[in-house]
Amino acid sequence: MLEIFEFNIIKRAFLVVSFIAPLSPIFGIFLLFRKYAFFADTLAHVGFLALALSLFFKINSLVLLILLSIGVSISVEQLRTKDRLPAEGSLSFFLYSGVALSVVFITFSGSTGSIINILFGSLSTVTKEDVYLILSGAFVCGVFILKYYKKLISFCIDEELAHASGINVAVIKMLFATTVALSISISIKTMGALLIGSLMIIPPLIAMHICRSLKNTVIVSIIISLLSSYSGIFLSFYSGIPLGASISTILVVFFVISFIIKAFKFK
């Protein structure tokens, strides 16, 4: 089994998920607090468009992915804040636009064979140059969480209460939108555009089901995310299943197990 570590793509995969896996569920917890889980799916589909554009124009996909995701994320928050469009409406617009335009650009790029990798992730799509960008993005997201952790909790639970307590909600909102977009962007090549949301949302759902405190929820979410990510790499390598699908499948298994454990606990 250890022969898997002889391959550079596997080493890169383990390195990348070691940074992505702890960050994704933390942002997922904040999104669930804001009742904004759909936000992750929207940005993931925008990421699909960015990868399609990179194939069409033959440019660095991760840089474009980060820039486009951040731009859309800020736009959604601006539209939501100024009441120009309902939150669900703006998210739906960007989601469906992203999917439609992605298909157009992929079709004209002549790289339709890349769709599976884009949608469901791949061990081979993360290059050495991508690793540096991913680690840099993870560092920025990690610093943001550590610096604004308490303010984020207040902001995500109740914006009005956070504003009343002296928190600059407008600034936190933009920083949060930017870092969520960044965290999704650096994860899409690994997890795929359709499944990155699973790594952000399912671990917190499992943790919330079995934990009573926020601290324990965060810790358990990170552990579940790391275990599923590492296991998913092995499953993907030996089965040929796309990496994002492998990780998501393991997360579903953990989710079912958590319900079984809880059911027996109350008997």
Which pTM does this prediction carry? 0.86
Helix (H) or strand (E) holding 262: helix 243-265
Number of domains in the chain: 1
Q: pLDDT tens, 223-267?
A: 999 999 999 999 988 888 888 889 999 999 999 988 887 777 655
Cβ contact 181:58 at 8 Å: no
Q: Residue 167 is part of which domain span?
A: 2-265
Residues of the chain with pLDDT > 90: what percent?
25
The span from the first CA to the last CA of the chain, in angstroms, equals: 40
SS3 breakdown of the chain: % helix, strand, coil, rounded to 5?
A: 85, 0, 15
Closest residue by Cα to residue 199 from 178, 236, 228: 228
| Segment 174-202, tens digit of pLDDT | 899 899 999 988 888 788 777 888 889 99
- Residue 241 sits in a domain whose CATH number is 1.10.3470.10
Give 137-171 pLDDT, tens digit per residue: 999 999 999 999 889 888 888 888 888 888 888 88
Q: How far apart are CA 27 and CA 225, in angstroms?
A: 12
**H or E segment at 239?**
helix 214-239
What does the pLDDT average to over 60-72?
Answer: 83
